[in-house]
Structure 1
């Protein structure tokens, strides 16, 4: 019973999170893609296969090239997906410290 409750909570959290953050077509996992409205395992897998064969998506409209996606589906997803860098963002390094100003020389 506890496992079921935890699974429900996790699924709810995942769905709630997806409502606030757009899914990046170039970095999303199958599970992340399946959080999108109208995207189940088959369409999520088709996106992943397209990405593997053709490289990163350049625009959301590239979804029209994926089997099972037409104009209407792409328009429905447009607000839920983004196309960003294919690489997962690396941790940012802190900016280098500014050099200390040189001491004034007295004549």
Structure 2
């Protein structure tokens, strides 16, 4: 039982980091806290991404992230496969 509780505490402590291991972060749906888990994205950049998305709508591609003030092509390239814009619904 003690081992189980230790594992549970460890899993809860590592929770945010484990989310990245499960796949890329969708920059169209992620909140600021989730975006901060990305390498090179701190609180200010995460807030800028969320604010930009609220003003301009969803990103069409990961490369569109470079349109956010304070984020350039170099940052987008470094993020690489860590980010996605998700899947698009089929046109009706």
Give the structure 2 partner of residue 55 of structure 1: 57
Question: What is the count of residue pairs matched by the alignment?
Answer: 81
Partner of 2:4: none
Deviations 1:38-91 (A, max 9, x none): 1111000000011001000000011110011111100011210000259xxxxx
Alignment CA distance shift 1:12-1:26 (3 Å) = same
Partners of 1:75 and 1:39 lie apart in 2 by: 13
The within-5 A match list for 1:13-32 is: 13-32=15-34
| Partner Cα distance (2:27, 2:71) in 1 | 14
- Alignment root-mean-square deviation, CA: 2.1
Q: How does 1:54-93 map to 2 (within 5 A)?
A: 54-84=56-86
CA radius of gyration, larger in: 1
Alignment TM-score, normalising by the size of structure 1: 0.67
CA shift for structure 1 position 13: 2.1
After superposing on structure 2, the runs of 4+ consecutive aligned residues of structure 1 that deviate more than 4 Å are 6-9
Distance 2:54 2:42 in 1: 18
Distance in 1 of aligned mates of 2:70 and 2:23: 24
